[in-house]
Amino acid sequence: MRCDDSDMKIMPERVSKVFDSAEGAAVAFAREKANGNMDKARALGLRFAQELICKDGGLTSFGVGAFDDARTVIQRKILFSYVVNQVIADLFPNSIVAQSAMSSFYNKIEQESPETSEMLFDSVAFTMYILTARSSPSDPKAIGEVFARLCEREDDPLFVRYGMELAEYFTLRCTQTVLEAGLIR
C-alpha cells in the first residue's frame, strides 16, 4: 500500500529560509534595542507590574469601596492584567517589543508577589476575558458581564456596569502610559 505524501513538507524548499527568519528576528531585536524600545518596553512592564502588586494604592485599588470584598479585589487584579495584555498587544510596534514588556511584567510580579503570580497563572478568569473579547470584540458590556459573573454577581446590572467602567478606566490609563513612553514605530 503506497501513500501519497507529496503535499507534506518537512523542510522548507530552501534550507536558508529557516536561517533567514532567525536572522530577521535577530536584526529586528538589535534595531529595537538600538532605538530604545526594548528598554522602554521593560520599564513599562515593570511599571504595570508595580501598579498591580502595589499594597498602598495603584491602579487596581482606584475606587475600591463599599461594593468590594476580597473576591472583587482579586477580580480587579485579573481584569487589570488582562487589560495590560490587550493594550500591549494593540499599541506596541511589534511582537518582539511586546514580549519584552510582558516578560518584565510577569517576572516582576513573580519576584515581588508570588501569590499574585499564582492567582494570575491559575486563573480561568483570564481565559474568560480572552474568549469574551474574541466572541464579542468592541463590546465593553461583555467584559463587564464576565467581571460580574466572576464576582458572583452576574444578575446585578450594577456589577456589570462596574466591570465595564473598570475595564475602560484601566484601558485608558494603560494606553496613556504606553503613549507617554514614546515607543518608536
For 75-129, how does the pLDDT look when each residue is reduced to its tens digit (9 = 90+)? 999 999 999 999 999 999 999 999 999 999 999 999 999 999 999 987 799 999 9
Q: 22 pLDDT exceeds 80?
A: no
Kindly state whether residue 9 falls inside one of the protein's structural domains.
Answer: no
What proportion of the chain, given as a percentage, has pLDDT over 70? 88
- Domain boundaries, position 31: 16-181
CA atoms in the 13 A half-sphere facing the CB of 58: 17
Kindly state whether residue 4 falls inside one of the protein's structural domains.
Answer: no
Total domains in the fold of the chain: 1
Kindly state whether residue 88 falls inside one of the protein's structural domains.
Answer: yes
pLDDT at 167: 96
Kindly state whether residue 42 falls inside one of the protein's structural domains.
Answer: yes
pTM score, two decimals?
Answer: 0.86
Kindly state whether residue 1 falls inside one of the protein's structural domains.
Answer: no
Interval 29-43: pLDDT, tens: 889 999 999 999 999
Kindly state whether residue 99 falls inside one of the protein's structural domains.
Answer: yes
CB 81 within 8 A of CB 137: no
Kindly state whether residue 2 falls inside one of the protein's structural domains.
Answer: no
Kindly state whether residue 7 falls inside one of the protein's structural domains.
Answer: no
Question: What is the DSSP secondary-structure string of 127-182?
Answer: HHHHHHHHHSTT-HHHHHHHHHHHTT-TT-HHHHHHHHHHHHHHHHHHHHHHHHHT
